[in-house]
């Protein structure tokens, strides 16, 4: 009986020690998105990869552009490696909310509908929706788009606006496809970001023109899951530092010859 009692005591001691060890191990596990990012040593941020000069693939098939470099600088200030990812635009928010990546850093406009699903950083640039047409077009602005065939990227605010204006809408994975279709006579107009339109005309020598005022202004933010407030705070802090120390201006002027904040 005495031996049996001793065996029970030894067993209980071992169980307690094992429990304490497990507790200590669990306490070392990352408990927030930011802690997990730092433990992994990298931060993943997604974009369409079809939105030059903000994000696109260069001749070496490398993902590059303004958004990519902003992400690289944020990563540096969080002290982790950048890991940009390209995925289809209309799947970005679903990918973020299901934890396929840590952030969306791909020129996403801050809207009330999107704020129901994700949080956004402070705006990192401002622009707006622009109507772009062939140089010989009689279209003079958004009011002329009723019953016209207009190209937009699927799932964007541009698509919503084109439908509101009564246009026949053709959707695309990226603006380059829409611009090419307009060059081939399949579209009467394209609605996209003003800066993107200006860059497309400049880089590809398209015979296009911008018409009318901005259909609406937009503020672009970095989308982050609602369960990641520490990451949001770190990203906002990094953006503030970049804008104060001249880094943001340098990156912006590299791509646009202007500060677009």
Contact criterion met (CB below 8 Å) for 146 and 167: yes
CA 166 to CA 145: how far, in whole Å? 7
Per the prediction, the chain carries an average pLDDT of 91
CA 254 to CA 67: how far, in whole Å? 12
Each domain of the chain, given as residue ranges in start order, spans 33-126+220-256, 127-218
Q: What pLDDT is attached to residue 126?
A: 94
Mean pLDDT confidence for 56-62: 96
Contacts of 252 (CB under 8 A, 6+ apart): 66, 125, 258, 259, 260, 261
CA 95 to CA 184: how far, in whole Å? 33
Mean pLDDT confidence for 74-95: 97
Query: What CATH number is given for 127-218 in this structure?
Result: 3.40.190.10
Confidence of residue 13 (pLDDT cuts 50, 70, 90): low
Answer yes or no: same fold for 33-126+220-256 and 127-218: yes
Report whether pLDDT(7) > 70.
no
pLDDT tens digits for range 95-121: 999 999 999 999 999 999 999 999 999
Looking at the chain, the number of H-run helices and the number of E-run strands are 10, 12
Mean pLDDT confidence for 38-45: 98
Which strands sit side by side in the sheet containing 50-51, from one edge to the other?
Answer: 50-51, 55-57, 63-64
Q: What pLDDT is attached to residue 30?
A: 83
Q: What is the pTM of this model?
A: 0.80
Query: What CATH number is given for 33-126+220-256 in this structure?
Result: 3.40.190.10
Q: What pLDDT is attached to residue 258?
A: 84
pLDDT tens digits for range 149-174: 999 999 999 999 999 999 999 999 99
Report whether pLDDT(6) > 60.
no
Our CA dihedral for 68, 71, 76, 80, rounded to 10 degrees, sits at -100
Contact criterion met (CB below 8 Å) for 251 and 258: no
């Amino acid at each position: 009986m005495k031996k049996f009692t001793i065996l029970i005591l030894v067993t209980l001691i071992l169980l307690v020690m094992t429990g304490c060890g497990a507790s200590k191990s669990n306490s070392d596990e990352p408990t927030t998105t930011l802690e997990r990012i730092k433990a992994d040593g990298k931060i993943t941020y997604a974009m369409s990869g079809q939105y030059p000069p903000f994000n696109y693939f260069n001749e070496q098939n490398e993902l590059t552009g303004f958004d990519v470099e902003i992400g690289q600088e944020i990563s540096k200030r969080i002290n982790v490696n950048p890991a940009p990812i390209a995925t289809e635009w209309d799947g970005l928010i679903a990918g973020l909310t299901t934890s396929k990546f840590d952030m969306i850093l791909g020129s996403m406009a801050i809207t009330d509908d999107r704020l129901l699903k994700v949080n956004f950083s402070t705006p990192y640039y401002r622009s707006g929706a622009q109507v772009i047409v062939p140089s010989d077009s009689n279209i003079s602005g958004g009011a002329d788009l009723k019953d016209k065939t207009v190209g937009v990227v699927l799932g964007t605010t541009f698509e919503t606006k084109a439908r509101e204006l009564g246009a026949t809408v053709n959707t695309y994975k990226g603006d380059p496809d829409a611009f090419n279709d307009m060059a081939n006579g399949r579209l009467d107009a394209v609605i996209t970001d003003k800066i993107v339109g200006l860059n497309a005309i400049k880089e590809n020598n398209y015979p296009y023109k911008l018409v009318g005022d901005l259909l609406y202004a937009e503020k672009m933010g970095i989308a982050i899951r609602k369960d990641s407030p520490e990451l949001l705070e770190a990203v906002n802090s990094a953006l503030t530092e970049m804008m104060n120390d001249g880094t943001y201006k340098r990156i912006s002027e590299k791509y646009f010859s202007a500060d677009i904040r």
